[in-house]
Structure 1
């Protein structure tokens, strides 16, 4: 017979004080009534208790604020004071101390004799300790955390989701999610995801280790990657050694340095980088032409009847230069006038005339440029961009022209040509419009279907055939649509896993990434490592890693052209739905 249980199998009151997890399914009606009376007393004093909670009458609960989610409990001789807020399925086991400002996520388990101390005493030498003022930064414990017996967690500490803290540890510093920690002071021992229930290292853990090792390697070599593409003679960056300097190469260098070093490229001070880029903008059109032969500002063609200037390179510079300046805490010297001066009618007419059937990528790229120019102009003025209603006209046109069967704009011209133009154009279009302004994409499930069908095309995705553009243009739509729907989520994750390890292996020591094949269907600078390939593959690896669930191991997050967060806009304030 179990101690605390009578001959009829009914548990004694004291049994639940020490084993409160059994109360919900073993307590008698009399015991339930007594617990209800006790909880009513706590509620009358201001506590909030969810369903199926248990608070031992023998616990010392003197909290100013007490919030317990459903199925949580406080056991006998626990000492609870201050402001304590707990989620669902939380436990405060016998003799545990929870004091001060303490917040527990769902599924937080506090072992016996553990102490969570969300306050501190001053100890200045001018007066006795007992007269010192109290301070309280608070303790925050995430979801699914196990804090072992006799652990001490000091004020100001945050313990991330899914952590395990070994018995007797003293936690003085924050612990990242998934950390297994122990010792005095507590130190991280390993990542909890490394081993599954069988004790075998999981594939996700291996991927996490691989991306962490890659990121460390890339950071250590970032200075060399940038230096090899810098010319002291011209004071400019080329994509690779021996090629002409370009505007994009300078912007790529700024993005790479921000990702890997958290600072501007070391060849110039931040203000010098910004001034060189700002000086390249044409003050009349607001576009940024390619560098002239001598390295100075280039020239642009004459404008079309609606004022637009046909120059694909200058259009992309609206993106690359604008974001590089933002990373340098600067901005364009002039508005993007070709965007600002376009009326809603002119915009709709140009959208109608874009080559959606034959060149969906070019059409999507134009939308990307115009929408990004509108964002930059609004950023500068704090008001509208384009003629009255122009930006609204853009989203109205997109909303009424999207194909509900594919979720995309345009169509695949033929089975032989495949979906390359369609999907790649979708990436460029949505990057500058829906993603940049934080609006949900239409028909997200159909987008996933279309993109996954395209991702099976061996012409672009067989081993050795991938280039940065084609992989990015699948990864980003899957990531973007995945913030709205879990449709075929496992297939999207599986595809990302297939791409991630080969992507990491493309790194060239001291030189970075090559863009990729320039053969059939290829574009860009080819296989030789350079700044464009490096900037793009670093962003791709983040997207793939986030689809898999290991992006936190990289230690970086894109903040430029490929940043995941939308911009802040005074007009479009709808938050982007989805996961964090």
Structure 2
């Protein structure tokens, strides 16, 4: 027994190296009994009774001594269970939640059929969901089937039997609404009788927002009054103004990246390569509705189609040979395939390198991918492979083991996070979230198959948006923002879960993105210096941000104001009619 069992918020301030080693060993032991995920700086008291469980706990969270935890329990980031709390059954708790001592969340119940004795009644469970930024006071009780909305306060001793709307202050038995937390208190100094201290614990006070602020004006300027926030009734006009300016400048922009020898380059001064040429096709299609004006469409089609190796079906980089499904140029299956599609043409040869991978080989390759350390690159491989299956089926009527691929993914998805792979100490959730985008783009989205566990995905992705390493203080590369908004957009097509928070994040990011257009140069991949020249406007950055802006606007119901809709790699519709999968 130690002070940390009862005051775990002191752990990361006072723990010795020996204390930390003991905690690491304890968590490792729990992993063998049901601890599915533990974020950074978590503390699980050895005095807590954690039995018969499947537990996922986020970063900067703790479970104090003598807490009683059983069942399928998920705790978000900055979420704390104080001494003697009880959490049982199917319980999902969001980020920034404080639960006072002796509180009980009972995510199960017993039937009450009069034909059976009480001790023989079966157990039933609807589950409990607690939103972000919630304070549950000491001795409060939350019963099965209840959803507690975000930003709410449950007073000490309250017994909650029905759903609680966001921003509610509840008290009593049964609990009733005392006031809306956003409105002034009834009288000066009133505490609503809530009681039940909940210390700030690890990581300070519970955040109520969705990530750090993103200051504007960091990546060049855009004229026409587009530097204001993208909120309110003028959003439609701002989007129209942005798209009009982008269309007007598109010919000059494309000329900036034209190499003069039939190809495009990503940045002035660099050698021409395959991907920026494909990006130029997509940018021209979005903004001009034509092929790039620098080269006749038929000549560009001939160049892109001529890249494909007849033996493998892959398209190597300019001046290179011998592309494989594990080389960097494997991305050209997406880039070249969709550029030709946008131009009204198609790859001339089947993708033999994909066709040669049978179901057994596929399962071995999938199992060997670095899901736990580099889920992003693992997801990228799945995206490439699935796109090869797509081209083979659509263009050449050649079937592949799509059922095997989808079955493998469905059985390996983490049911708590909704992702594939887990957080890493170096990057937090970045690897599995960015990998999720690549993986689902090529599989579920491209083939029109519903994504599994969309609510869990939304929870995980929104938690990722609060990681300041990737999103605070103007951060947010094209990959990081795309790989958040596409999963939120895709899952939002199946559920309205946390839609207000998703839209809040989209609105903030859209306002920021609209300020970053460089006159006659487009968008930089990164809004601030990272490595190399990623903070300079580029073709890749421009193509990606145009798609990102469409997705952000579409989440807000305003994409029609842009006057363009992606038709290539980032197309919102399934590339293949789902009904055509019946014979696969």
TM-score range, shorter chain: 0.5 to 0.7
Look up the match of 2:25.
Answer: none
Look up the match of 2:209.
Answer: none
Q: 1:311 and 1:525 mapped to 2: Cα distance?
A: 23
2:465 matched to 1:437? no
Specify the SS of the correspondent of 2:322.
coil
2:549 matched to 1:503? no
Look up the match of 2:554.
Answer: 546
Look up the match of 1:371.
Answer: 386
Look up the match of 1:291.
Answer: 318
**Residue 275 of structure 1: CA displacement?**
0.7
2:436 matched to 1:426? yes
Pairing 1:471-486 to 2, within 5 Å after superposition: 471-486=481-496
8 A Cα contact 1:229 1:237, kept in partner: yes
The 1:399/1:221 distance shift into structure 2, 3 A limit, reads same
Q: 1:383 and 1:374 mapped to 2: Cα distance?
A: 8
8 A Cα contact 1:211 1:554, kept in partner: yes
**Residue 204 of structure 1: CA displacement?**
3.4
8 A Cα contact 2:256 2:268, kept in partner: yes
- State the structure with bigger RCO (CA 8 A, min sep 6), 1 or 2: 2
2:457 matched to 1:470? no
Q: 1:516 and 1:538 mapped to 2: Cα distance?
A: 14
**Residue 271 of structure 1: CA displacement?**
1.2
The 1:533/1:202 distance shift into structure 2, 3 A limit, reads closer
Q: Deviations over 1:417-466 (max 9, x none)?
A: 31000100000000000000000000000000000000111111113211
Pairing 1:486-497 to 2, within 5 Å after superposition: 486-497=496-507
Q: Deviations over 1:515-537 (max 9, x none)?
A: 01575xx5785011111000000
8 A Cα contact 1:219 1:261, kept in partner: yes
Q: 1:569 and 1:542 mapped to 2: Cα distance?
A: 22
TM-score, normalised relative to structure 1: 0.59
Look up the match of 2:21.
Answer: none
The structure 2 residue matched to 1:411, chosen from 413, 416, 422, is 422
In structure 2, runs of 5+ residues without a counterpart are 1-228
The 1:271/1:365 distance shift into structure 2, 3 A limit, reads same
Q: 2:388 and 2:346 mapped to 1: Cα distance?
A: 12
The structure 2 residue matched to 1:384, chosen from 383, 396, 399, is 399
**Residue 340 of structure 1: CA displacement?**
0.9
Q: 1:493 and 1:517 mapped to 2: Cα distance?
A: 22
Look up the match of 1:62.
Answer: none
Look up the match of 2:206.
Answer: none
Look up the match of 2:78.
Answer: none
The structure 1 residue matched to 2:284, chosen from 247, 257, 270, is 257
Look up the match of 2:412.
Answer: 401
8 A Cα contact 1:256 1:534, kept in partner: yes
Q: 1:375 and 1:244 mapped to 2: Cα distance?
A: 31
Pairing 1:504-543 to 2, within 5 Å after superposition: 504-516=514-526, 525-543=533-551
8 A Cα contact 1:361 1:421, kept in partner: yes
The structure 2 residue matched to 1:450, chosen from 429, 444, 460, is 460
Q: Deviations over 1:73-103 (max 9, x none)?
A: xxxxxxxxxxxxxxxxxxxxxxxxxxxxxxx
**Residue 309 of structure 1: CA displacement?**
4.0
Pairing 1:196-211 to 2, within 5 Å after superposition: 203-211=231-239
Specify the SS of the correspondent of 1:237.
coil
Larger radius of gyration: 1
Q: 1:202 and 1:468 mapped to 2: Cα distance?
A: 18
The 1:523/1:394 distance shift into structure 2, 3 A limit, reads farther
Pairing 1:120-199 to 2, within 5 Å after superposition: none
Q: 2:230 and 2:470 mapped to 1: Cα distance?
A: 29
8 A Cα contact 1:323 1:561, kept in partner: yes
Look up the match of 1:221.
Answer: 249
Look up the match of 1:321.
Answer: 336
TM-score, normalised relative to structure 2: 0.59
Q: 2:330 and 2:361 mapped to 1: Cα distance?
A: 18
8 A Cα contact 1:518 1:524, kept in partner: no
The 1:328/1:337 distance shift into structure 2, 3 A limit, reads same
Q: Deviations over 1:235-276 (max 9, x none)?
A: 211012111101001000000000001111001121111110
8 A Cα contact 2:250 2:288, kept in partner: yes
Q: 2:348 and 2:322 mapped to 1: Cα distance?
A: 18
2:259 matched to 1:243? no
Q: 1:327 and 1:204 mapped to 2: Cα distance?
A: 35
Specify the SS of the correspondent of 2:354.
helix
Q: 1:518 and 1:346 mapped to 2: Cα distance?
A: 42
The 1:518/1:284 distance shift into structure 2, 3 A limit, reads farther
